[in-house]
A and B are shown apart, each in its own frame.
Chain A
């Protein structure tokens, strides 16, 4: 199992208290489990990805105290989408203040079928926000919200926190999260923890005195003021001292001033700032009692640390502390100094009773970090246990195709016969009029079965829009008993390129879900929205509205479908049938979201999608090609498959290899153009600290229009660059029309055009798109010109910038 952990906070702070201690103790133990692969990560803002930490050097530094923290980092970059399907993202560190918001990260992880397990230490910034910095509160709201939506398991250190979590989900109207308790410990693992020398000044304060110890960050929630009040009200006179040990936290300026200017300061009241571990150990061992007047906690580690050293604890009478300390501690009302004094007086009243209390603490059996780490790992592993998977011996014999084009279907069938030997049956969903011709002309080995439009529709009208019609028909066909529970869905122009087996569609007990894009990133066919683009938009809206991942699975290739899951989806969302959504996108995202253990999202394997470099920008590069999305136009003169045969013939397997080589070379050119564009962006950013951007904006006193462009442009010669172009929304108010013409061209130094003018009519419904720019055929220095002209409005925006064609 691959387990990823973002440890950015522990790697960036210079102290190890509270949460950092837990992160350290659990991590150093967990990563020794060699049956799992642990990826320790640090978020890199500069690279907008994770950087991997070295497990060995992490252990050296955090367990052995050897080496330097900075050397734990390795150069290995891990993108958010690189975390693979089936992996677990384990949130142990307190990362709510990270610039990488979980509201952004978690949906991406879920698109890939990654499971999320989060350790929630407490929910205090939500339940008692007055005790937290407002930045922490704001970030914590987003952090918890993302976890309530996306986490597969929440681990807490106390049942009390689960109870609070449940009341939160109940109130919001969400399903309760799966949650479990794993306690925390206090034994030290770092070799030097208790072996160093104790601060002599501290020894001098502590020696022979009865002191109450308060250990931890000084912050309002910890309620240090109550102990000072109690000192003033009699405890000091009774010979009791108080030692506050920790670092100064947030919003305690007044308290700090009160402590340091108090008449009892350095007489009965002491402050030990940032004590080392040896001093902490000494203070615990010699304390009369540990005072814990906190208003709220996630666990209460100082209590356990005191018990382990045989030191009595007096603590706030709140549920979480009762749960953790039971009857080993004495309790008082954290709002009453009198009650605190009562509690201390009880310990002072009888030396015998006090000795008996200390003696009883010897019976205290601590929960060790070893046990905590083991239990934590078991909890993490549990999300991948007893999960529903696809049977290893699954049998699939049926291909289902929606077609209205007999010629295309008949041309494709021989490829299926040749390369898909396990397919014996073909269900053709087609118009009634097509059936007889198909029957007459097909002489191959496949058993053809027909589901005609009239059989499928059963009197229902057929929608006019292409995508809506397809989805409607597929949904209805899926209910027909003629179709197997598990089959392979295809279109009449998806052709296999080599021999395929069932294992090309199922892997590790999961249906492969081949994606080609993220719907959130899909910009359509260069500002020329088609029925397909609208279909993608509708699908994205449906998926986002219902909380499912949003990958684009319309990869123009065959994919395996479990119709039980498809029908479950349409039963759950009946309106979707006539919504014009994409069947591939809705089904697979529903599947990945609902049954993450049955689906494995993987990059698509289609050649010819997109057909041409200028069609749209590739989002994910196929790792191999198993299918051809057949476009006749690609076989025309000057196109990628010029001179090759479209039809099936006896040397088709060899020729397919040639096709793959040609298409790969074409794709490579696109990738090279992208690399040049990326290098240009990086270099521009380093130079000007901003990205080169092209935008049409409006402003000024006349409400005019202008082209916002960088100081220069770079592109690869004879390449297509997908240039992000943005149109200011306010433009619509200014020009009062929905469409404008954008033209671009390259000129030489003398101002003569060296490329044809590219023209695009910008649909102002789509204000953020990619402009396909074809660069000159040869490398040279020239000028890149863009122009928007609105003659009827007497307005123009144009720009001419130096261009370096490499």
Chain B
């Protein structure tokens, strides 16, 4: 039997026992199963960002970035932002958790942080999608470098702003 099937079966049993006690298991099966894939000390933000449901994303972010389930205070704090576009919401969650003392203490290493201001495009996904320029030769570049600024701007506009 696959590992994931064992965890899944255990969840079902616990869920049933909780229902028998007249209560409801608040943590979803998806979140419990996601904890089984946590690599200690590592979190890949690009993979995490594939979760496009804001509520689920923040719960997963706590599991992967802080090694724990989200607490009720955090749920209350994030709830007003659930309606934001996913990229904006994810940016806020990742940046906030990254800046927390708890994240610092846990020493989890963050990979592929597409929301980081320290990456090549400054973490603003909205800026992606500029058109590509026409590849130009080194000779043309030399000419370009000698141009006055207004001509450079015109050339950039014409060629799409890329080398």
Contact = CB atoms under 8 A, between A and B. Distances in A.
Contact of B10 (A172, A690, A704, A707): A172
A463 interface: no
Contacts of B163: 798
13 contacts: A45-B40, A101-B36, A103-B3, A142-B7, A174-B1, A547-B3, A690-B98, A697-B125, A698-B128, A706-B121, A710-B120, A795-B131, A799-B120
Contacts of B103: 689
Contacts of A130: 17-18, 21-23
Contact of A135 (B69, B87, B126, B128): B69
Contacts of A705: 128-129
B32 A101 contact: no
A137 B42 CA distance: 23
A564 B7 CA distance: 34
Q: Of A48, A141, A791, which is in contact with the most chain B CB atoms at under 10 Å from its CB?
A: A141
B113 interface: yes
Main secondary structure on B side of the interface with A: loop
A433 to B, nearest CB: 45
Contact of A126 (B17, B69, B107, B121): B17
Interface in A674-718: 685, 688-691, 693, 695, 697-711
Given A130-B23, A689-B98, A45 B10 contact: no
Contacts of A691: 109-111
Contacts of B42: 48
A67 to B, nearest CB: 25
A100 B3 contact: no
A78 interface: no
Interface of A: 43, 45-46, 48, 99-101, 103-104, 107, 125-130, 134-135, 137-139, 141-142, 144-146, 148-149, 168, 171-174, 544-545, 547, 685, 688-691, 693, 695, 697-711, 724, 726, 728-729, 751-752, 789-791, 794-796, 798-799, 801
Nearest to B110: A690
Contacts of A142: 7, 32, 35-36
Interface string B111-148: 11110101111000111111111010010010000000
Contact of B6 (A125, A137, A174): A174
Given A172-B10, A795-B131, A104 B39 contact: yes
A796 B6 contact: no
Contacts of A145: 3, 6-7, 10, 36
Nearest to A150: B3
Given A129-B18, A149-B3, A697-B46, A138 B31 contact: yes
A148 B7 CA distance: 10
Contacts of A48: 40-42
Given A145-B10, A689-B110, A708 B40 contact: no
Nearest to B36: A103
Interface in B6-31: 6-7, 9-11, 13-14, 17-18, 21-23, 25-27, 31
A533 to B, nearest CB: 22
Contact of A702 (B9, B87, B128): B128
A794 B131 contact: yes
A139 B42 CA distance: 18
B3 A101 contact: no
Contacts of A137: 14, 25, 27
A732 B120 CA distance: 22
A428 B160 CA distance: 64
Q: Of A173, A693, A701, A702, which is in contact with the most chain B CB atoms at under 10 Å from its CB?
A: A693
A100 B35 CA distance: 10
Given A128-B17, A711-B118, A547 B2 contact: yes
Given A45-B41, A173-B1, A699-B128, 13 more contacts: A126-B10, A137-B27, A145-B10, A693-B113, A697-B114, A708-B119, A708-B120, A711-B120, A751-B138, A752-B138, A794-B131, A796-B132, A799-B120
Contact of B50 (A134, A703, A729, A790): A729
B3 to A, nearest CB: 6
B75 to A, nearest CB: 12
Contacts of B118: 688, 690, 710-711
Given A129-B25, A704-B130, A45 B106 contact: yes
B126 A701 contact: yes
A691 B42 CA distance: 10
A544 B1 CA distance: 9
A794 B6 CA distance: 48
B126 A700 contact: yes
B1 A129 contact: no
A127 B21 CA distance: 10
Contacts of B50: 729
A704 B106 CA distance: 35
Given A689-B104, A796-B132, A799-B120, A144 B41 contact: no
A801 B130 CA distance: 19
B45 to A, nearest CB: 8
Contacts, number: 203
Interface of B: 1-3, 6-7, 9-11, 13-14, 17-18, 21-23, 25-27, 31-32, 35-42, 44, 46, 50, 67-69, 87, 98, 103-104, 106-114, 116, 118-121, 125-133, 135, 138, 141, 160, 162-163
A597 to B, nearest CB: 23
B7 A685 contact: no
A547 B2 CA distance: 6
A144 B35 contact: no
A141 B17 contact: no
B151 to A, nearest CB: 19
Contacts of B119: 693, 708-711
B17 A700 contact: no
Contacts of B69: 134-135, 138
Contacts of B32: 138, 141-142
A172 B128 contact: no
B114 A695 contact: yes
Nearest to A133: B69
A708 B10 contact: no
Q: Of A100, A129, A702, A795, which is in contact with the most chain B CB atoms at under 10 Å from its CB?
A: A129
A711 B117 CA distance: 10
Nearest to B32: A138
Given A45-B40, A128-B21, A708-B119, A695 B7 contact: no
A242 B138 CA distance: 89
B7 A126 contact: no
B46 A726 contact: yes
B14 A141 contact: yes
Contacts of B26: 134
Contacts of A174: 1, 6
A754 B71 CA distance: 53
B46 A728 contact: yes
Contacts of B104: 689
B2 A544 contact: yes
Contacts of A728: 46
A104 B38 contact: yes
Contact of A134 (B7, B21, B27, B38): B27
Nearest to B131: A794
Contacts of A729: 50
B159 to A, nearest CB: 11
B7 A103 contact: yes
The 9 closest A-B pairs by CB, nearest first: A704-B129, A702-B129, A796-B132, A699-B125, A700-B128, A48-B41, A99-B67, A700-B129, A103-B36
B1 A751 contact: no
Contacts of B36: 101, 103-104, 142, 145
A145 B39 CA distance: 17
A172 B107 contact: no
Contact of B17 (A127, A149, A544, A703): A127
Contacts of B3: 103, 107, 145-146, 149, 547
B68 A135 contact: yes
